[in-house]
Amino acid sequence: MSRNSSREELLGAFGTAIRAYQTGVDNFDQAAADHLGVNRTDSRCVDLIDQAGGMTAGELAQAAGLTTGAVTAVVDRLEKAGIARRVADPQDRRRVRIEVTPKLWELMEPLLGPMLAESEALVADLTDAEIERFTGFLERAIELQARHTERVRSL
């Protein structure tokens, strides 16, 4: 086998693994949304809010690729489910921020806790250098995805 065909096979297997991982994440996200009793868009939005430590409706619209009108409906549903709330911005009382509630993590801990514990074992044998390399790869992959998401949205 030539070096190129081996590299092609490795790249093919790598691409297949990434796609399978994305499918696995997608399936888990659907199961979590079902558990929360929300749709996938609402689930994605509450995760974005949580990752940011809270945000305005405009920031959420930008991050999720939704209209501000759609975000209003999302936040209404998240509030009704008790997993997010609107609060006055402490820096500017005229602005409203959206934040997650403790109920979100009460519902999510039984789902994520076991997976996070298992994840620790998954990376336990990696060296610090390997973790740094994987982290760098993922950061570059996230940037690539963001660029192409914007490209596709502009078509």
Read off φ and ψ for residue 25, nearest 5 degrees.
Answer: -65, -45
pLDDT of residue 2: 55
In a domain, 107, yes or no: yes
> How much is the pTM?
0.84
In a domain, 105, yes or no: yes
The residue among 116, 87, 126, 84 whose CA lies nearest residue 101 is 84
Burial 114-129 (b: 16+ CB within 10 A, else e): eeeeeeeeeeeeeeee
Q: Domain span at residue 118? A: 3-124
The CATH number assigned to the domain holding 46 equals: 1.10.10.10
pLDDT of residue 51: 96
Q: How far apart are the first and last CA of the chain?
A: 42
pLDDT along the chain (155 residues), means of 10: 77 95 95 94 97 96 94 96 92 89 95 94 94 96 93 91
pLDDT of residue 14: 94
In a domain, 135, yes or no: no
User: Which one-letter amino acid corresponds to residue 37?
Assistant: G
Q: How many structural domains comprise the chain?
A: 1
Distance, in Å, from the CA atom of 123 to the CA atom of 121, rounded to the nearest integer, reads 5
